[in-house]
Amino acid sequence: MSRASDRAYGAIREMIMSGELAPGDALGEEALAERCGVSRTPVRDALRRLEAEMLITRSDTQRSFVADWSLDDIADLFQLRAMLEGYAARRAAERMSEPVLQALRNCNARLRKSVMCAPPDVDSFLERNREFHALILEAAGSRKLVALLASVIEQPVIWRTAHHYGQDELRRSFGEHEELLSAFARGDGPWAEAVMGSHIRRAFHAYADAHRGLTAIDSPGRRRTA
């Protein structure tokens, strides 16, 4: 792939991940080429890559659109996350070192600041949450898990879910992280797996509620995405 193709891929992917391009939005090659500062050929290459990642879909007339998954699709996604991340949490608990445990504690302390302010800093919460889960996956010590979870977690669904959390849900997420830390401190794999599984299932129900039209956290200028 050329540098131009990589640049177009990164730019379009970021637009989808951030919600700037919403589910169902049409993706015109000419408009995207102008926004990315490249010609149409790199955009075409980028769209093929994004289609392979299931971030975009193509119609019978070969028009491209941002993927708009059904609730059943999302349920499958979260079920896979619960299984894989639950197993990762079990492995992490059984292999946990004091330096990694301290890094997790520090990360969750920063996450707490994001959710306790009014209004909550959802973007900061997302970054700290990503860091927390990445540390668990690192502690699990499985390259196969890393590869499998990359295709499940690194999706715009996670962004949309968090932006439909109210402050109570954000604080509950912090509390569940605290319970995970307790399980990790005791090296209790089954406890960690159970907490992680319920953590992911609750996130699914938050997304499902939003999908059915319930309220979202809306900061000034933020566009609703579900």
Residue 56 belongs to domain with CATH number: 1.10.10.10
Residues 39 and 100 in one domain: no
The per-residue pLDDT for 223 is 36
How far the first Cα of the chain sits from its last, in Å, is 33
The per-residue pLDDT for 217 is 39
Q: Which of 18, 46, 66 is the last residue of a domain?
A: 66
Residues 60 and 84 in one domain: no
Residues 40 and 109 in one domain: no
Residues 36 and 144 in one domain: no
Domain count, the chain: 2
E strand intervals along 4-111: 56-58, 64-66
**pLDDT per position as a tens digit, 90-104:** 999 999 999 999 999
Confidence grade of residue 222 (pLDDT, cut at 50, 70, 90): very low
Range of the domain at 31: 3-66
Asked whether residue 224 is domain-assigned, the answer is no
Residues 14 and 99 in one domain: no
**pLDDT per position as a tens digit, 117-170:** 989 998 899 899 999 999 999 999 999 998 888 766 655 666 666 666 778 889
Residues 124 and 186 in one domain: yes
Burial grade of 219 (CB within 10 A; 0-12, 13-18, 19 or more): exposed
Burial grade of 60 (CB within 10 A; 0-12, 13-18, 19 or more): exposed
The per-residue pLDDT for 110 is 97
Asked whether residue 37 is domain-assigned, the answer is yes
Q: Which amino acid is at 26?
A: A
pTM: 0.73
**Residue 65 to residue 29: CA distance in whole angstroms:** 11
Pick from 163, 160, 158, 166: nearest CA to 22: 160
